[in-house]
Structure 1
Amino acid sequence: MDKILIVDDTPAVLQALSLLLEIHGYDVVTTTSPEQALHYVNQLRVSLVIQDMNFTGDTTSGEEGKNLFYQMRELNPHLPVILITAWTDLEQAIELVKAGAVDYIAKPWDDQKLVNTIVNLVALGKANRASEKLERQQKETVDTQNAADTVGLIYASSAMQRVIDMAVQVSKSDISVLITGANGSGKEKIAEVIQANSPLAKQAFIKINCGALPADLIEAELFGAEAGAYTGANKKRIGLFEAANGGTLFLDEIGNLPYSGQTKLLRVLQTGEFQRLGSSSTIKIDVRVISATNSNLQDAIAAGKFREDLYYRLNVIELQVPPLNQRVDDIMPLVNHFLPNRELSLSAEKELIEHVWQGNVRELENTCKRVAVLSPEGVIEAKDFAFSEKLNIGSTSIPASSSEDDSSARGMQGPQNLSLPNQTPAAEPTKDELETAMRQHQGVVARVARQFGLSRQALYRRLDKLGIAY
């Protein structure tokens, strides 16, 4: 249902317009406050605004309405705005129409003319959005046909595009590639892109999590074993290198491979040869190796936990996958993929964009799955993601000096790195201070909360208590 916002200082006008538009099937939101109007435009999916030009008693200059109009245009340049007033100033009307207002109507208005205008404007907005969506889909189709195989990877950021371009470029050769990045950022998908665009695309592609290999079975897992080579080995076992012969072996979390396993891996990378456990026969293989890690291998080398010679064997080319909070343009395409055919409020989108995403794409996917189960119908609101409630769990372990702007915490793992605003401000803000901040930040609650060192939920409680509109 299309949402119409009406801003007027006269309750009788709000009531009359609401009744008129609701009869014609519109969802109507009303307010007498310009500040509240800006909040609605910033948070809700408003299709059209009808706004008065004066909001203070005995004021007829229209400056209040003019200021509100320009502020709304800054928030949403494409939002249709109908100006309506009992004090018509032709010069001012011409200025605002040139600035983008779609109409300037004098009070009392003609019901039928106003409804016809709204119907046409809303229909035009829908047509424009549908046309833009079709153009995007057509462009994406052409791009997909002309581009490399991205194995269904969902992204829109230039940062991720650079990683994809490099992955496609190195895929044509047989050199070893090391993919680095935080947990859940998409390293395995990049490995799949390399494989899909390589000459080995139709050959074996075997994945193994090195951190999950038991230390006493590493040799058997990687290189196989003859029957009787160890207790429980009742028949010959083919190792992963042999199974991947002629294709690609993806060694995930290579930084977790025990030192003894590193030594055996280095030998096969150097010679292309190995022996099954319990056998003296040498097997020659041709395998491309792609590895990935969320660890800093150079630090591990300095600490004596990772072989330097193995590092240089694996890291002929390094691809760094940035964390999700460094490629925010990917967030909404991923959300639309994980929550297909669902509508999100602007406040929900804003919450998603501003969230830290410590767990990267994996955290985003799990968050969307939870919302799909707990809020299966209707428009998804910011509260449905319940970020504040989750962040408050175990918050006593977070230093009071943590800051939302602590960029060093981004992409790091563990609750000690989670960036949060101070939970207890140095001084309780007054009503005047909060109202001033709300005006300065145009009703953007996240910015006001940051200014006073509050969480959003704490700020909401204070606004409700003091009767401040948001």
Structure 2
Amino acid sequence: MRGHILLVEDDSAIATVVTAALEDEGFEVTTSDSIVGRDRHLSVQRFDAMLTDVMLTDGDGIDGLADVRASHPEMPVIILSAQNTLDTAIRASDTGAFEYFPKPFDLDELVRAVEQATGVRTTRDDGPVEPGEGLPLVGRSQAMQGVFRMITRVLRNDLTVLILGESGTGKELVADAIHQLGHRKTGPFIAVNAAAIPGELIESELFGHEKGAFTGAVNQAIGKFEQANGGTLFLDEIGDMPADAQTRLLRALQSGRIRRVGGRQEISVDVRIIAATNRDLNPMIAAGTFREDLFYRLNVVPIQLPPLRDRVDDIGALARHFLRLAANEGLPMRQLDDAAIAMLERQPWRGNVRELQNTVYRLALMARDELIDTETISAVLGEALRVRGSVTEDDSFAAALDNWLAVHGQASGKLYQQSLAAFEKPLFEHALRQTAGNQLRAAELLGINRNTLRKRLVELVIDPERFSSAR
């Protein structure tokens, strides 16, 4: 016998399948369908591991696990749950569970976890983490459950995390969740988008500068590393960072010390690094445009965010979640029926969750009745987002950019700077106009951090108050 397992599961079909799989691998299995039965077995027998469901016939299986662990500290616990939310994963982690499996789970993976648990007898003695309320991470799909499990594994340590995923998949939300739920939650969370900062300014942005370090440096400036001291520094779009800045970033990560531009003194910083990119860094490493040693320094714990097309089952829950957010921000409360959800599920969503959220807000604004029907969705989506549409959003943007270049011309190698300068201010003004000057909502529409928006509004001399009566 490889070990004696207590399985607490009130679904007889699942209990039968899991028991058979474990017995085939040489384990002895005792089953119970309730908390009372669990406690009775634990009072008279010793078990090498326990598998328990969350929702049982007589209560919540997680609630009493603190007492179980106190009386059986060497027994690993594996939690099974159909309540597939981030909060459930956090609660499972808080109990010191060896592993957490959302239902439906891979049976072979579960068996491997039992083998590992009984082999290494791993226990976790970390203090509790309070689950955040209202975290905008929604998803019951298998892909998102994997993301939730990875988040719980990095909350109580300072391992560097690299978040990978297409634009609009929620990389900053994941970074924020890791910070807000982790042991650095009382410290600052500072986000910086490497793609939005001109190459010649990024080192000053990250490390700060001394007065007179360069033309225009009329005062000393504190960089993002120092601002994030004691907390988390989120480096978004790390793949767009210039080579020189990559070198200095690597040195800072290796030593835990930075030097302001134009300064002589090294400054110690205590910062957790979370990086993110929507680019495949491997070809960039091969081409020499991204440092391989920096990649390995950042890629300690990779978290891959799935595109929305790979988590279609989440679209209904996400859409309803965004309708509630819209209502909280003053838009009318709307509902979606099954036909409307099915229509949303058929869309390509090239902009992923961000595009879905923007669409849902438009639906809440434009719908004539409380129940949003497929006719309203068709009108809001338009030909550009229909499955059989002939024009994509990418095509529309390319046409607009071509028209602008035809008027203004194009200096060689300056396309990015020219485009950004031409589109950024009117884009921000449009977002503020659409949200009646609400900066939080405007940042969400743009898909950027609200602190970044506020800073750019000051730099672009845009007063959000003048849009407060736009509607």
Q: TM-score, normalized by length of structure 2?
A: 0.52
Letter of the 2:339 partner, please give it: S
Which whole-Å CA distance do the structure 1 matches of 2:255 and 2:199 have between them?
Answer: 23
- Name which of structure 1's ranges 380-389 and 200-209 shifts more when overlaid on structure 2: 380-389
Q: Please list the CA deviations of residues 67-120 of structure 1 after superposition, one character each: whole Å capped at 9, or x if unmatched.
A: xxxxxxxxxxxxxxxxxxxxxxxxxxxxxxxxxxxxxxxxxxxxxxxxxxxxxx
Contiguous gaps of at least 5 residues in structure 1: 1-137, 399-412, 417-470
Radius of gyration: which is bigger? 1
Deviation at 1:232, TM superposition (A): 1.8
Deviation at 1:376, TM superposition (A): 4.1
Q: How does 1:353-432 map to 2 (within 5 A)?
A: 353-386=345-378, 387=381, 389-391=383-385, 414=394
Kindly indicate whether the alpha-carbon contact (under 8 Å) linking 1:163 and 1:320 is maintained by their aligned counterparts in 2. Answer: yes
Deviation at 1:290, TM superposition (A): 0.3
Which whole-Å CA distance do the structure 2 matches of 1:256 and 1:141 have between them?
Answer: 30
Which whole-Å CA distance do the structure 2 matches of 1:377 and 1:219 have between them?
Answer: 52
Q: Could you say which structure has the greater relative contact order, defined with CA pairs below 8 angstroms and 6 or more residues apart?
A: 1
> Does residue 290 of structure 2 align to residue 306 of structure 1?
yes
The aligned residue for residue 194 of structure 1 is 178
> Does residue 176 of structure 2 align to residue 176 of structure 1?
no
Aligned length: 267
Aligned equivalent of 2:230, options 211, 236, 246: 246
Which whole-Å CA distance do the structure 2 matches of 1:201 and 1:388 have between them?
Answer: 42
Deviation at 1:271, TM superposition (A): 1.1
Which whole-Å CA distance do the structure 1 matches of 2:369 and 2:194 have between them?
Answer: 41
The aligned residue for residue 237 of structure 1 is 221
Q: Secondary structure at the match of 1:230?
A: coil
Q: Secondary structure at the match of 1:178?
A: strand
Q: Secondary structure at the match of 1:336?
A: helix
* Change in 2 beyond 3 A, CA 1:292/1:279: same
Which whole-Å CA distance do the structure 2 matches of 1:256 and 1:139 have between them?
Answer: 35
Deviation at 1:189, TM superposition (A): 1.0
Which whole-Å CA distance do the structure 1 matches of 2:385 and 2:334 have between them?
Answer: 25
Kindly indicate whether the alpha-carbon contact (under 8 Å) linking 2:194 and 2:241 is maintained by their aligned counterparts in 1. Answer: yes
Letter of the 1:243 partner, please give it: Q
Deviation at 1:378, TM superposition (A): 3.6
Deviation at 1:275, TM superposition (A): 1.2
Q: Secondary structure at the match of 2:353?
A: helix
Which whole-Å CA distance do the structure 2 matches of 1:248 and 1:145 have between them?
Answer: 19
Deviation at 1:171, TM superposition (A): 2.0
Q: Please list the CA deviations of residues 428-464 of structure 1 after superposition, one character each: whole Å capped at 9, or x if unmatched.
A: xxxxxxxxxxxxxxxxxxxxxxxxxxxxxxxxxxxxx
Q: How does 1:158-177 map to 2 (within 5 A)?
A: 158-177=142-161
The aligned residue for residue 341 of structure 2 is 349
* Change in 2 beyond 3 A, CA 1:237/1:287: same
Q: Secondary structure at the match of 2:364?
A: helix
> Does residue 252 of structure 2 align to residue 259 of structure 1?
no
Q: Secondary structure at the match of 1:238?
A: coil
Which whole-Å CA distance do the structure 2 matches of 1:176 and 1:293 have between them?
Answer: 14
The aligned residue for residue 221 of structure 1 is 205
Q: How does 1:2-13 map to 2 (within 5 A)?
A: none
Letter of the 2:307 partner, please give it: P
The aligned residue for residue 320 of structure 1 is 304
Kindly indicate whether the alpha-carbon contact (under 8 Å) linking 2:363 and 2:377 is maintained by their aligned counterparts in 1. Answer: yes
Deviation at 1:247, TM superposition (A): 1.4
Kindly indicate whether the alpha-carbon contact (under 8 Å) linking 2:256 and 2:268 is maintained by their aligned counterparts in 1. Answer: yes
Which whole-Å CA distance do the structure 2 matches of 1:277 and 1:378 have between them?
Answer: 56
> Does residue 313 of structure 2 align to residue 329 of structure 1?
yes
Q: Secondary structure at the match of 1:215?
A: coil
Deviation at 1:395, TM superposition (A): 5.9
Which whole-Å CA distance do the structure 1 matches of 2:84 and 2:298 have between them?
Answer: 37
> Does residue 261 of structure 2 align to residue 277 of structure 1?
yes
Deviation at 1:248, TM superposition (A): 1.0
Q: How does 1:29-178 map to 2 (within 5 A)?
A: 143=88, 146=91, 149=131, 151-178=135-162
Kindly indicate whether the alpha-carbon contact (under 8 Å) linking 1:252 and 1:291 is maintained by their aligned counterparts in 2. Answer: yes
Kindly indicate whether the alpha-carbon contact (under 8 Å) linking 1:164 and 1:193 is maintained by their aligned counterparts in 2. Answer: no
Letter of the 1:337 partner, please give it: H
Kindly indicate whether the alpha-carbon contact (under 8 Å) linking 2:348 and 2:387 is maintained by their aligned counterparts in 1. Answer: no
Kindly indicate whether the alpha-carbon contact (under 8 Å) linking 2:163 and 2:303 is maintained by their aligned counterparts in 1. Answer: yes
Letter of the 1:372 partner, please give it: A
Q: TM-score, normalized by length of structure 1?
A: 0.52
Which whole-Å CA distance do the structure 2 matches of 1:370 and 1:142 have between them?
Answer: 29
Letter of the 2:214 partner, please give it: Y
Q: Please list the CA deviations of residues 347-404 of structure 1 after superposition, one character each: whole Å capped at 9, or x if unmatched.
A: 2111111212111111101111111122142421122222452247996678xxxxxx
Letter of the 2:375 partner, please give it: K
Which whole-Å CA distance do the structure 2 matches of 1:142 and 1:365 have between them?
Answer: 21
* Change in 2 beyond 3 A, CA 1:371/1:221: same
Contiguous gaps of at least 5 residues in structure 2: 1-82, 93-128, 325-332, 397-471
* Change in 2 beyond 3 A, CA 1:142/1:159: closer
